[in-house]
Structure 1
Amino acid sequence: MKKRLLLIVTMLFVVILLVSCAGGNAENNKNTKQATDNKGKLRFGINNWAENVAVSNMWKVLLEEEGYEIELNTLEKSPVWTGIAQGDLDIAPEVWLPITDEPLYEEYKDDVELKEIWYEETGLGLAVPSYMDINSLEELNDNKSKFDSKIVGIDAGASLMGLTRDAIEEYGLDYELIESSETAMLSELQNAYENEEPIVVTLWNPHWVFSEYDLKYLEDPKKVYGEADDIYFMTRKGFEDEYPEVVKWLNNWKMDDDSLGELMAIGQELDDPVEAAKQWIEENRDLVDEWMQ
């Protein structure tokens, strides 16, 4: 009887030991998988333009799905270039060339790696609602009373503002360029548009506002705003050697006015760029899967 009891106790001990080891192995496997899934921390340098915020959060969601930790750093244009050149940042999703970012590119081109184009033929200039009977910068002076001799601008240091000052001089425009911000400019545009009032603003595309309102650029026969830019992304030197799959995915990335406009419009609606990115990704999973091959 005692031997039988001892045998039962021994068997129970063995079972408990095996279960404990299995549990420990499962926990170890779980920890190992978590460690494997964490592929590293990538630091993005972004500026606070609507399309930049939208695509940066889109890539944050996509890369986190692949096991990377993503840090978004919002800076002005020049510090983004400096951060990439010095290796403090890994990826900058927007480089406008050959016009807008040309001074920064000339300064830093030996210390950064310019990659593929993901958006073709941007626009820069002065825009008005399509209900306005004006089509060229050369017509602005004849219509200055309609616009109260004011052009509603954005941040004082933006390249677009510098080009607009050049346009005022080149065309001899009797206008005041109002320095504000993208948010303030869009608020002025919305108020004017909803009441069908005259307004002229500094604007660029890609931008979600073109999917919301019927707008047109004023023709620029003297080409002060230059030819269309393309948008590239860039990385710090050596990044591709360390993260070849990330650069491969980003090189596959292509967007146009429809896809990018939809992403930005969802962001405006939800007022949450991460949730907007998740929604857009799920609605465009076939397109995204082509990038992530």
Structure 2
Amino acid sequence: MKKLSSALLALALIPASQALMAQDENLTIGTNNWAENIAVANMWKILLEDEYGYDVELSNVSKNALYTAMAQGDIDISMEIWLPITDKPFLEPYEDQLQVHDAWYEGTGLGLVVPSYVDIDTIPELVERADEFEYQGSPSILGIDSGSAIAGLTDDAIEAYELPLSQINSSGPAMMSALDSAYASEEPIVVTLWSPHWAFAEYDLKYLEDPKGIYGENETIYWFSRGDFASDEPWLTDVLNAWYMDDDSLGGLMATIEEVGDPVEGAQQWIDDHRDLIDEWLEVEAEAP
């Protein structure tokens, strides 16, 4: 099939019933403050609103609130669940009410990260070197919000490795601001980070080896929904199942947003520059009955 070259042509290929159904249809996407989550949620909001007539709301909530609201039907979908380990505790209470769909990214990373100029390579080395990682007067690991999965795993790591450091929880942007400041001065700092993340393109960073496996192995990112979403939205379910990104495409989207400084403008710029890839995801529309 010839690739679509514009939003108008894309819309023209939607079956008439689908085009009518999408007009003014409400869709709530649950989001959190992870960089890749904000990036892909804004990308899909733009595509579904501008090209298919959906009215999309992005609902930014904590992990616990996200799963509860989706199970209650107040949130339709979320673009990101890490399995089999990281988000399993959040999913387990609602397994009968939520549905995990196809993977869109494989090979995640998760753990404690330091700039490459820091001359340690493993988490246990932090025990003897803790005083080098002072933040606001005490040895610290800088993390994101306390309700996140990585925050809980970091508490587990502090206990398992008997680390004489405390985790300071804040927002993702606040953590990245502290990393940027330390990096500019080549000062030691340890933060909680994950892959994919635009920081690995911006800075020379490394994961500290985790011999106890607290942070688990590489995982896969799926999208998920309330349990009856696929029956309510079979076309959109097929489209999202066809969606797949690798390090280059996802890293490029996040980097564009970071460079532009706005998730909406950055996502729009990336969409304009990557129509061929996007049209591959959307080709399912031409096959719909």
Q: Is TM-score (shorter-chain normalized) higher than 0.5?
A: yes
- Cα displacement string for residues 179-229 of structure 1 (whole angstroms, at most 9, x for unaligned residues): 222111111100111111111111111111111111110000100111222
Which residue number corresponds to residue 173 of structure 2?
A: 183
Correspondence 1:51 to 2:36: yes
Q: Are residues 160 and 37 of structure 1, via their aligned partners in 2, closer, same or farther at CA, if it must alter by over 3 Å?
A: closer
Amino acid at match of 2:140: K
Post-superposition Cα deviations, 1:225-280, rounded to whole Å, max 9, x if no partner, equal: 11222111111122222221111110011112221121112212222211111110
Alignment partners' CA distance in 2, 1:37 and 1:112: 23
Aligned length: 260
- State the shift of 1:156 in Å: 1.8
SS of aligned partner of 1:137: coil
- 1:78 equivalent in structure 2: 64
Return the alpha-carbon distance in structure 1 between the equivalents of residues 225 and 155 of structure 2: 32
User: Aligned AA for 1:234?
Assistant: F
Aligned partner of 1:157 in structure 2 is: 147
Task: Quote how far apart the aligned CAs of 1:36 are.
Answer: 6.7
CA distance in 2, matches of 1:237, 1:186: 35
Structure 2 unmatched runs, 5+: 1-18, 284-289
- Between 1:173-182 and 1:94-103, the stretch displaced more is 173-182
User: Does 2:233 correspond to 1:243?
Assistant: yes
Match of 1:225 among 210, 215, 227: 215
2:99 to 113, 117, 120: 113
Q: Given that residues 106 and 246 in structure 2 are in contact (C-alpha distance below 8 angstroms), is that contact kept between their aligned partners in structure 1? A: yes
Query: What one-letter code is carried by the residue in structure 2 that aligns with 1:111?
Result: Q
After superposition, the C-alpha distances for 1:27-83 in whole angstroms (9 at most, x for unaligned) are xxxxxxx96761611111111221111100100111121222211111111121112
Deviating above 4 A after TM superposition, structure 1's stretches of 4 or more consecutive aligned residues are: 34-37
Separation in 1, partners of 2:123, 2:252? 30
Out of 258, 262, 265, the residue aligned to residue 268 of structure 1 is: 258
Comparing 214-223 with 99-108, greater Cα deviation is found at: 99-108
Letter in 2 for 1:44: I
Asked if 1:192 corresponds to 2:164, the answer is no
Which residue of the partner structure matches residue 6 of structure 2?
none
> Partners in 2 of 1:102 and 1:37 — Cα distance?
32
| 2:111 and 2:150 in contact (8 A); partners too | yes
TM normalised by structure 2 equals: 0.86
Distance 2:186 2:216 in 1: 30
Task: Tell me which residue corresponds to 1:23.
Answer: none
**One-letter identity of the residue aligned with 1:122:** T
Q: What is the RMSD of the two structures over their aligned residues, measured on CA atoms?
A: 1.6
1:93 corresponds in structure 2 to 79
The aligned residue for residue 25 of structure 1 is none
Partners of 1:237 and 1:158 lie apart in 2 by 23
1:81 match: secondary structure: helix
Offset of residue 84 of structure 1: 1.6
Percent identical among aligned pairs is: 54
1:144 corresponds to: 130
Conserved in 1, the CA contact under 8 Å of 2:62 and 2:148? Answer: no
User: How has the CA–CA distance of structure 1 residues 162 and 35 changed in structure 2, closer, same or farther, with 3 Å as cutoff?
Assistant: closer
The CA distance in 1 between the partners of 2:260 and 2:216, in whole Å, is 35
Structure in which a larger fraction of residues adopt helix:
1
2:217 and 2:145 map into 1 onto residues whose CA distance is 22
CA contact (8 A) 2:63 2:147 kept: no
**Any idea what SS the aligned residue of 2:81 has?**
strand
Q: Indicate whether 1:135 and 2:135 are aligned.
A: no
